Amino acid sequence: MSTDHSRCADEELVRILRGGDLTAFDVLYDRYDRRLFGYVRRLIKDPCAAEDLFQEIFVTVLRDRTYEPDRGRFAAWLFMVARNRCLAELRQRRTREGLAEEVRARWQPKAPPSPERAVGDASRVQAAMSALPDGQRQLILLKQIGELTYREIATLLGVAEGTIKSRLHAATVAFRRLLSEGSPET
């Protein structure tokens, strides 16, 4: 039995993995580790928490049997799992931060925010992404980093494909506007 599965489709790798060959997992991991971690990190914005979630998502790949290779692309399922875990983490974080903020507000005076200048293109892009509403930011990340099709994103979010196209267009326009507003050179 050959263990070189590098040319197999993702869906076939899932079948092989479920058959007990863990080398298929290694191939899937190698294919998605950078893109998936980048996606998770951009949503979570905390490298340590993103690393933990990233590992949990890949453990899900090993254990979860809800994905059916005949019913859709593995990439779409993987990014759906990642999105759901990230959203759950962000909800938990908001709850924790809300409680912590309430305690701070009662016991400490608020310090005025210190303005920071954007340094270089990377910080301007990051600032513009952060300024987008969560829904728009997620659409851009799913399309650009997740490399999902409009149809896959529509299925993931439970809306029509045309709706995804128009929302993604609006998100792109808003992102470009935020980029140009943040840069005195443009």
- Mean pLDDT per 10-residue segment, the chain (186 residues): 79 92 92 94 91 91 84 91 92 79 64 48 81 90 86 90 92 90 56
**pLDDT at site 70:** 86
Assess whether 101 and 50 both reside in one domain.
yes
Rounded Cα distance, 185 and 83, in Å: 35
**pLDDT at site 118:** 35
Assess whether 130 and 174 both reside in one domain.
yes
Query: Last residue of some domain: 89, 111, 133?
Result: 111
Closest by CA to 177, choosing from 116, 119, 136, is 136
List all residues 6 or more positions away from 93 whose beta carbon is below 8 Å from its beta carbon.
49
Assess whether 4 and 42 both reside in one domain.
yes
**Containing structural domain, residue 174:** 113-186
Residue with token string 């954007």: 118
Query: Last residue of some domain: 90, 111, 132?
Result: 111
**pLDDT at site 103:** 67
**pLDDT at site 168:** 92
**pLDDT at site 125:** 82
Query: Last residue of some domain: 79, 111, 143?
Result: 111
Assess whether 26 and 91 both reside in one domain.
yes
Rounded Cα distance, 148 and 155, in Å: 11
Closest by CA to 69, choosing from 31, 144, 108, 17, is 17
Residue 65 burial (10 A CB sphere; 0-12, 13-18, 19+): exposed
Domains held by the chain: number: 2
